[in-house]
C-alpha cells in the first residue's frame, strides 16, 4: 500500500486568497478531497490537502511550501504521513459543483 499524506496549510493572513493556494496545490497534485473504497469522493476539512505520491514527509512539506510561496502567500504547514485513514461525516463532493469552499453537500442528503 502506498503511503499518503495529509497536508494542512494555514494562511497567516486571514484575508489571503485561498483560491490561489487551492490552484497552486492542485497544480502539483495535492487535492482537497479523499476517495473512499467505493469511489465516493469526500471533501476534507478547511485548510487540508491530500496526496498519495512517492514522496517523503520532507518532500511533501517542500512542495506545499513552494506552492504557497508561488501563490504569493505566507503560511504555516503541517504534514502527516499515513498508511490508512478513517473518517466520519465528511461531506460528499458533488462533481458538478467544484468551486473550492462551495462544493459541499451534507452526507445525509447526497451519499451512501
pLDDT tens digits, 37-58:
899 999 999 899 999 888 899 9
Residue 110: predicted pLDDT: 34
Residue 80: predicted pLDDT: 93
Q: Cα separations (Å) of 48 from 25, 34, 43, 98, 109?
A: 10, 10, 9, 16, 23
Half-sphere exposure of 14 (CA within 13 A, CB side): 0
Residue 14: predicted pLDDT: 67
Residues, the chain: 112
Residue 52: predicted pLDDT: 86
> Which residues of the chain are modeled with pLDDT < 70?
1-2, 14, 95-112
Residue 94: predicted pLDDT: 78
Amino acid at each position: 500500500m502506498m503511503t499518503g499524506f495529509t497536508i494542512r496549510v494555514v494562511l497567516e493572513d486571514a484575508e489571503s486568497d485561498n483560491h490561489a493556494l487551492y490552484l497552486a496545490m492542485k497544480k502539483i497534485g495535492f487535492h482537497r478531497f479523499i476517495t473512499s473504497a467505493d469511489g465516493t469522493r469526500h471533501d476534507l476539512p478547511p485548510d487540508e490537502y491530500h496526496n498519495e505520491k512517492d514522496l517523503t514527509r520532507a518532500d511533501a512539506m517542500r512542495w506545499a511550501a513552494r506552492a504557497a510561496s508561488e501563490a504569493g502567500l505566507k503560511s504555516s504547514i503541517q504534514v502527516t504521513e499515513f498508511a490508512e485513514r478513517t473518517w466520519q461525516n465528511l461531506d460528499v463532493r458533488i462533481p458538478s459543483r467544484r468551486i473550492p469552499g462551495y462544493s459541499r453537500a451534507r452526507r445525509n442528503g447526497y451519499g451512501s
